[in-house]
A and B are shown apart, each in its own frame.
Chain A
């Protein structure tokens, strides 16, 4: 290991990688050099001056370059002229650092004194009080008294909204620029900056709306004082009153590790409620960051509209009933001809729920008619064979590696993946982005392939066939160069989504990309660490749904069934024409999502939900389920990491966990006694699903030491994200890791696309829906229905920016605002903030005149 450098810090020898800064090297051996502006995930600036240390360098003879020694044989050291910042100086061989000498301690004392001269010292009312780096370091290094006259203190604004979500207290700010640097260096949203100079230096926002970034909450975690606070938690509780509960973010397939801070509240009638959500460190998943959706969209869990009791339809009305009655009734109604009953599940449910769901149908009702309610992205079977190999970490990708992102806008679909892909590209990985439109990832891509709507498969096909052979054709275009880059890459990770694609197209796409990973180039990509396919699933546990066999053609563990059942599309058709008699929907709202217009000719509809959704109001029986915050369970991320979450708040009303409801119905149709706990259901999962073999709640809860340290005693170093003490999860190995995988047969897909101006659904992070609607704090950021189109198209259709138009979404007319935006491709209208539909559709925009709008 030639790139290791050995230095001595306070007499302790340490060897660290070249380029490490002294402060980080010291941290490795438990020597806590105090810092404010330095953060291990940011570039050093050396501006707070808290980390001043004495740095001695070995003296060399000028002529010979030989090391000079003292009389006693020890190397001669030159300690320079003064103190130096440990956060900016890179280590060098033979360096000697002293961190506990008189001048160093004196310097720390004086920096603390300086910082406190302009600090308001209003710790009693500060949200950071109790978990504040400045407070801690003052206790450790500060003097008890200030020599500054209190009257000399500067008085500044204490309530400055930087945006809807983040407030700035100018008096508390110590100008360390961590927030500014985070926004600029880490997430490339430079929307806050310094303004003015000297003691008037202040943080301002440059964007409209203010602090327009989906990462803004993270700045409050790394702020070393209470200058930045979130609108959600402001004055919510003192940190020491909070109970931390480990959880997993339920919003997207990244599966960020989070910690819910809970507390009993008088305002909630003595119930324990979630006060805030903070990131929990998992360097293989989300490091120490989470997006604002994960942080602020949690209020649905203890919302007043939650269902609290089973409901049953009597005389056309839903009335409250007991569990026993409801379950008996449901069990009775479902035991009909197995072909006449079907089940649709939502991909927000846990693995235990989904397993119990398929068990009820396959083993209990002998029906194969089960599927996810929203068929958006296929390829779980492909990912099971050539998915991202276990042990992979996007953080390890860099120079020589390549990442391909197809038909997905990671920034809004899976923000933390966007962040990690972007950082890999910045480290030198070749990023190839293929999409019908420009996305934010293009800025970091070596190649951005923008295909015409409907040409996704053709483009990827071309890419894959080019990558097979070393081309030396005269034609060099982006596709050729991109293919070459992918072919040459040491490691290759592929993300693919469903933007503008029908379900069958995504299936073909997954197989095409699977074949790309199977191409031999000295080494195959599939099966090696840091290689493989990652589906950008529409929900947090779509991966788990595939694994658990919530699929008409696959039993748990991707075992093909003899005779495939009806898929969701077929189910909706059968509902309409009367081929189905009974339908069970768990954790999904097909009516609200525009996938199912009404209950059709169903005899019996049962819905298991958190809220009385559009589907639930049509049901014969509504069963109240528990949200993820009230119970334990596991989710599987798009990288196939099985992660465990824990119960944080008490049960709402009489609601029950989904797996329990399903098992209790199962008991009534002859499946035996239900399991007592989610952990026991998971034991069944591990027994039956081969991929989950060897996992149990104990192994999922295992942790190991992670770098950098966060959340512990040294809050000032890594910030306030929580240390992971509750489990890093387990990534299950794909087939290719163990045995050879044959090439996939790529089906030919008939799209049936009609000519004309096309429109495509695009994902937005704060899409309106039950979950987002429950969080008032995020309301100003909620996506509005918008159709973005190119200036040429707008001119042709004679619509202008801000006009209202009507578009048909899944057969329903939806009103959207027009945004003329030349980033939209010509001939393709990008519609956001409306229910999803598959593929593209012919854009039939009807302009709504002001008079008609007024009537509405």
Chain B
């Protein structure tokens, strides 16, 4: 009985301490609170240094997604119109942010590390339609030394969809 009262007093003590501390309010959106490194925010579709898209349109992210938020439609690359290495690229890539639960399974499933959940958490929409993020919205800017896609490339250079597989040792 006595122990219970002691515990209660201890808890109330903490409450009392905070009662006298000044309030902490971050002035969002003027001030943005930094996020942790492993924070999972809005997805980005990455590119290689030369500007080619990492995404090969394999739909494994869509398969892994527990919320059925991702929709992918693939098409075939040609050397005159190349989006990604290998034969296949994502012609359509959409994520429904209303459905997404930011679990990161899509990241795990991706064989080319094309989809990464980054640190942007500012996701708000006025209607359902604008909650669907298309490929244009998700893909990152072309790197400094890269070229935008589709690219015209030399035949026979980008033949592998999954460019380099390390020797498993």
Chain A interface residues toward B at CB < 8 A: 120-122, 124-125, 129, 145-146, 149-151, 155, 158-159, 234-238, 240-241, 265-267
List, in ascending order, chain B residues with CB within 8 A of A124's CB: 56, 58, 60, 111-112, 161-162
List, in ascending order, chain B residues with CB within 8 A of A158's CB: 87, 159
Chain B interface residues toward A at CB < 8 A: 56-60, 62-63, 71, 73-76, 86-88, 91-92, 94, 111-112, 159-162, 165-168
> Are A266 and B165 in touch, CB under 8 angstroms?
no
Apart from the given pairs A146-B168, A158-B87, 14 other A-B contacts in the complex at a CB distance below 8 Å: A122-B86, A122-B160, A124-B161, A129-B58, A150-B167, A155-B159, A159-B87, A235-B76, A240-B63, A266-B73, A266-B92, A266-B94, A267-B73, A267-B92
A125 touches which one: B73, B88, B165 (CB < 8 A)?
B88
Give CA–CA (A580, B74) in the complex, Å: 54
Q: Given known contacts A235-B74, A235-B75, A267-B73, is B57 in contact with A125 (CB within 8 Å)? A: yes
List, in ascending order, chain A residues with CB within 8 A of B75's CB: 235
Give CA–CA (A32, B162) in the complex, Å: 33
> Are A150 and B165 in touch, CB under 8 angstroms?
yes
Give CA–CA (A120, B88) in the complex, Å: 15
Give CA–CA (A149, B112) in the complex, Å: 20
> Are A149 and B161 in touch, CB under 8 angstroms?
no
List, in ascending order, chain A residues with CB within 8 A of B63's CB: 238, 240-241
CB distance from A75 to the nearest CB of B (A): 47
CB distance from B22 to the nearest CB of A (A): 52
List, in ascending order, chain A residues with CB within 8 A of B160's CB: 120, 122
> Are B71 and A266 in touch, CB under 8 angstroms?
yes
B59 touches which one: A121, A155, A238 (CB < 8 A)?
A238
Q: Given known contacts A124-B58, A235-B88, A241-B62, is B111 in contact with A150 (CB within 8 Å)? A: no
> Are A122 and B167 in touch, CB under 8 angstroms?
no
Q: Given known contacts A158-B87, A235-B76, A266-B71, is B92 in contact with A122 (CB within 8 Å)? A: no
Q: Given known contacts A155-B159, A266-B94, A267-B73, is B58 in contact with A125 (CB within 8 Å)? A: yes
Give CA–CA (A635, B117) in the complex, Å: 52
List, in ascending order, chain B residues with CB within 8 A of A155's CB: 159
> Are A265 and B73 in touch, CB under 8 angstroms?
yes
Give CA–CA (A763, B60) in the complex, Å: 45
List, in ascending order, chain B residues with CB within 8 A of A236's CB: 74
Give CA–CA (A265, B59) in the complex, Å: 13
CB distance from B136 to the nearest CB of A (A): 13
A129, A155, A235, A241 interface centre (most CB from chain B within 10 Å)? A235
CB distance from B89 to the nearest CB of A (A): 9
CB distance from B143 to the nearest CB of A (A): 23
List, in ascending order, chain A residues with CB within 8 A of B168's CB: 145-146
CB distance from B111 to the nearest CB of A (A): 5
> Are A235 and B92 in touch, CB under 8 angstroms?
no
- Chain B minimum-CB-distance residue to A146: B168
CB distance from B137 to the nearest CB of A (A): 14
Give CA–CA (A84, B97) in the complex, Å: 56
> Are A150 and B88 in touch, CB under 8 angstroms?
no
CB distance from B128 to the nearest CB of A (A): 13
CB distance from B27 to the nearest CB of A (A): 40
Give CA–CA (A241, B87) in the complex, Å: 20
- Chain B minimum-CB-distance residue to A155: B159
A120, A124, A125, A158 interface centre (most CB from chain B within 10 Å)? A125
